[in-house]
Amino acid sequence: MRCFDLNTEKTYAQFLDEQDDLKSFRDEFYIPGETIYFDGNSLGLLSKQAEESLEILLNSWKRHAIDGWTEGVEPWFYLSEKLGKMTAPLVGANTEEVIVTGSTTTNLHQLVSTFYKPHGKKTKILADELNFPSDIYALKSQLKIKGYDPSEHLVQVQSQDGNTLKTDDIIKAMTDDVALIMLPGVLYRSGQILDMQTLTKEAHRRGIVIGFDLCHSIGSIPHHLSEWGVDFAFWCNYKHLNGGPGSVAGLYVNKKYFGNEPGLAGWFSSSKEKQFDMSHTLTQAWDAGAYQIGTPHVLSAAPLLGSLKVFQEAGIDRVRKKSLHLTKYMMELIESELSDYHFTIANPKDDATRGGHIFLEHEEAARICKALKADKVIPDFRTPNGIRLAPVALYNTFEEVWETVMILKTIMKEERYKKYENKRGVIA
């Protein structure tokens, strides 16, 4: 057996890469320039298969024009359903419970419109104070539409440390006046995985509908939504799933709700067989397709055909196993090499609750991120003092993790970050 000094030898990282059974997938992706790309939890990289599937759909428009809806290699009329079928294993759902449609926030509006049914004293929506702002904007909007004051009817569970949530604190907030719960599967800053199974069980014990935002969990951790009995979920496809900027999003609705009227009906809510009858009475789809609203964005969905094939080949369990190994290795290096520079590892350290990225806090975070980019490491800054580093299992390596920590050590030792302003750019 080969022996290494874990925290200092580059050869150990290279050894880990030699043992990596997912290493061949790196060649499937376009790595920008000579960079170390650790921002795949914001925007995943383009794969060759995604590029090919986009070209196929573009060519079907070129060759078939309007007949592309029913002809060609991938008929557009059934594209959302096919992508839903390909996505279902990643969220642990039945095929018919998943549809690829809309955008993250549009789908949230659809689902809250459908499942938020205030009655009697049950009028409140329960969320959390660490969620992504867009979700909170949507929830407040939905409350206003129903005639409720968000300051009174939106309850946000507080964090005890500013980065994570306690399961018990969430359960305690499930009071008799809560009608609906909406929480993230993984917190976008700290990467904490919430206990979706327990939270669903406790919500249902109290007669409360519960759904999850899976934007930072889909493609990075396995899910079992149907087994857990989750009522609804939604997500974007451009982070870990590598669907491309502005890629069409997805949603899940538990099959026990099939036949219920969608909150926001539209052209593609219709049953496929009835859609072109042009009746003013909606005959809705019998499955998750009922929660579509408008015409599919074919060219924005096209790359997903290829990117989801990559996940079919790799398998989410293998992705998760490597992801945990990458992030654990990075934490060990940080603790060993950066202990003199006042970094705080603010993500959970245990495997069970750690998502797909590392979250560092430092008072000079914005400047440090700029210095990293100058050294061709692509991080993600989160105001006011957060640095997210996402070593993605499909295309990042252990050697890149080692190199990044060593670059960061040099930046701090030589105070290179002081060349930059300590504030974010227009996009962070």
Q: 3-state class of 233 per DSSP? A: strand
- Which amino acid type is present at position 352? A
Q: How far, in Å, are 252, 334, 352, 382 from residue 339 at the CA level?
A: 43, 7, 25, 22
Residue 216 labeled ligand binder: yes
Q: Is 379 marked as binding a ligand?
A: no
Query: Annotated binding residue at 213?
Result: yes
Residue 168 assigned as binding residue: no
Question: How many angstroms separate the CA atoms of 323 and 393, rounded?
Answer: 5
Distance CA 141, CA 263 (A): 14
Q: Is 362 annotated as a binding residue?
A: no
CB atoms closer than 10 angstroms to residue 152? 10
Q: Which two tokens stand for residue 330?
A: 């990075």
**Amino acid identity of 318?**
R
CA torsion sign for 279, 283, 287, 288 is positive
Q: Residues 393, 375, 34, 16: is their CA dihedral positive or negative?
A: negative
- Report the candidate in 234, 236, 232, 233 with the shortest Cα–Cα distance to residue 248: 236
Give me Rg for the CA atoms of the chain.
22
* 67 has binding-site annotation: no
Identity of the residue numbered 64: H
H or E stretch at 181: strand 178-184
133 has binding-site annotation: yes
Write the CA distances from 80 to 295, 299, 362, integer angstroms.
10, 12, 42
- Determine the Cα–Cα distance for residues 86 and 101; give it in Å rounded to an integer: 13
Is residue 220 within 8 A of residue 237, CB to CB? The reply is no
The answer to whether 114 is annotated as binding is: no
Q: Residue 410 half-sphere exposure, CB side, CA atoms within 13 Å?
A: 11
CA distances from 177 to 117, 126, 155, 302, 391 (A): 12, 10, 10, 43, 41
Annotated binding site: 104-105, 132-135, 213, 216, 238, 267, 295
Annotated binding site for pyridoxal 5'-phosphate: 104-105, 132-135, 213, 216, 238, 267, 295
